[in-house]
Amino acid sequence: RANLSDDDALRVAKKMRQSGCYSVGFALESDNEINNAISKLKRKRQKQPSVEELLAGILESNTTALSRGITLIESHKISHQTKAKILIESCLEHRKPSIRIGITGVPGVGKSTYIEALGTHLTNLGFKVAVLAVDPTSSLSKGSILGDKTRMDTLVRNKNAFIRPSAAGKSLGGVARYTREAITLCEAAGYDVILIETVGVGQSETAVHSMVDFFLLLKLAGAGDELQGIKRGIIEIADAIIINKADGNNKNAAKLAMLEFKRALHLYPAKANDWVPKVIICSAIENKGIDKSWELIKDYVKHSKSKGDFIKKRQEQDIFWLIQFIENEIKDQFFNNELISKELNSQIKLINDNKRSAFAAAEYLLNLHKTGA
Ligand code: GDP
């Protein structure tokens, strides 16, 4: 890409768009090369593997097949969506037992460093690890920050690890759905631990919490006011808090923060399965406390299985997403309806002019949608 002039780059981008491709992984220098690249990409597209081939590859834990399967899930093309649906359903019965772990924290807290350390620790123990990400802002920032392979350069070269950046999507609902379906494919491919990274903003934490067995919050030691600026909701959904960067001059502050969080967590009501969230310190960069965090996760899984809660929670999550998906679809259908979007503004005006109540306007619009009149 660095060898192209702006005009050429634009031309390549246009041609690539026409041919339905999003990226090429090699440099292009001349027109000839561009044309060759495009024909190559076209041939590659024509050779799309069948669902059976993808399934066979995924069941053999082939990462190319797994990546292609996930790309199919994320595609907006109807024919791809049909294939993706069959693929997901075929994978469901082949899912291996796994532990799904959500990891959140503000940018810079050390999520990718921690995932790299934990992922490496787990592969050393003989596990296969998949890293997925949920970041609905990635389509706005043109390229995802989460699950970025360059930020996990050791893990990316590990043959027992699979890293997939966040899908681009306009809505959190869409991105969350792709990720849930990617989890199914990873489990069919035999990944034992699925790590799902998300940033500590917006609703994405809640969405990730609703698709994992264990939810981990990464924090930094501050200047004493540990609980300042932390969203109450996030503490309530965390199964553990890890104070990262407990190294060098920061170690004592991290220990103090740990005590303060422990004290604060006692004030929250117990979780439904009686689990008391744990707080530990770690240094992801020095690889300290990583083993402890894995022990903690294993304790949780043991606890939750002994309470009969592990499977129950997954089943509840399935139902949550079923309802969520229906709600989103119905909402989209309603608001994307031409007649409704036209009428909505006049109804809003009537409400603002005190001529109609919000309830009556809603009833009118719903009725309009139902009858199409
Ligand atoms: P993310 O944005 O949450 O994924 O954070 P990163 O993993 O990219 O880390 C942000 C910065 O903090 C990087 O410069 C890391 O090297 C550094 N960092 C991450 N973990 C640690 C740690 O345990 N100790 C120290 N001192 N620095 C760390």
Along the 373 residues of the chain, how does pLDDT read in single tens digits? 445 555 566 666 666 666 665 555 445 556 676 677 667 666 666 578 899 999 999 999 999 999 999 999 988 889 999 999 999 999 999 999 999 999 998 888 899 999 999 999 999 999 999 999 887 765 545 444 555 556 788 898 999 999 998 777 767 778 888 999 999 999 999 999 999 998 766 688 888 999 999 999 999 887 444 555 555 677 778 899 999 999 999 999 999 989 988 888 887 777 878 888 999 999 999 999 999 999 999 999 999 999 889 999 999 999 999 998 899 889 988 998 989 988 999 999 999 999 999 999 999 999 999 887 5
Distance (Å) of CA 168 to CA 204, 223, 254, 270, 322: 14, 36, 35, 36, 21
Residue of the nearest CA to atom 22 in ligand 1?
245
Structure tokens at 228: 């300042």
> What does the alpha-carbon distance between residue 108 and residue 314 come to, in Å, rounded to a whole number?
30
What is the CA(211)–ligand 1 centre distance, in A? 25
User: Pseudo-torsion of CA 236, 238, 239, 245, nearest 10°?
Assistant: -140
Distance (Å) of CA 354 to CA 345, 358, 361: 14, 10, 12
Provide the whole-model pTM. 0.82
> What does the alpha-carbon distance between residue 99 and residue 308 come to, in Å, rounded to a whole number?
15
114-137 b/e (C-beta count within 10 Å ≥ 16 → b): bbbbbbbbbbeeebbbbbbbbbbb
Structure tokens at 265: 């967590």
Crossing angle, helix 172-188 and helix 63-74, to 10 degrees?
A: 150
What is the CA(245)–ligand 1 centre distance, in A? 7
Distance (Å) of CA 29 to CA 12, 24, 36, 156, 173: 11, 13, 11, 28, 40
- CA angle (368, 370, 373) in 5-degree steps: 45
Q: Are 165 and 144 in contact (CB under 8 A)?
A: yes
Residue of the nearest CA to atom 27 in ligand 1?
245
What is the CA(161)–ligand 1 centre distance, in A? 20
Instruction: Identify the H or E element spanning 132.
Output: strand 129-134
Quick check: CB of 110 below 6 Å from ligand 1? yes
Of 195, 192, 191, 198, the residue nearest 167 (C-alpha):
198
Quick check: CB of 284 below 6 Å from ligand 1? yes
Of 202, 196, 294, 288, the residue nearest 247 (C-alpha):
288
Residues 6+ away with beta carbon under 8 Å from 136: 166, 169, 170, 171, 172, 174, 175, 202, 204
> What does the alpha-carbon distance between residue 317 and residue 312 come to, in Å, rounded to a whole number?
9
Of 33, 34, 5, the residue nearest 19 (C-alpha):
34
Residues 6+ away with beta carbon under 8 Å from 123: 129, 155, 158, 160, 161
> What does the alpha-carbon distance between residue 131 and residue 349 come to, in Å, rounded to a whole number?
48
Quick check: CB of 112 below 6 Å from ligand 1? yes
Sign of CA dihedral 165, 171, 173, 174: negative
Quick check: CB of 285 below 6 Å from ligand 1? yes
Quick check: CB of 244 below 6 Å from ligand 1? yes
Quick check: CB of 151 below 6 Å from ligand 1? yes
What is the CA(285)–ligand 1 centre distance, in A? 7
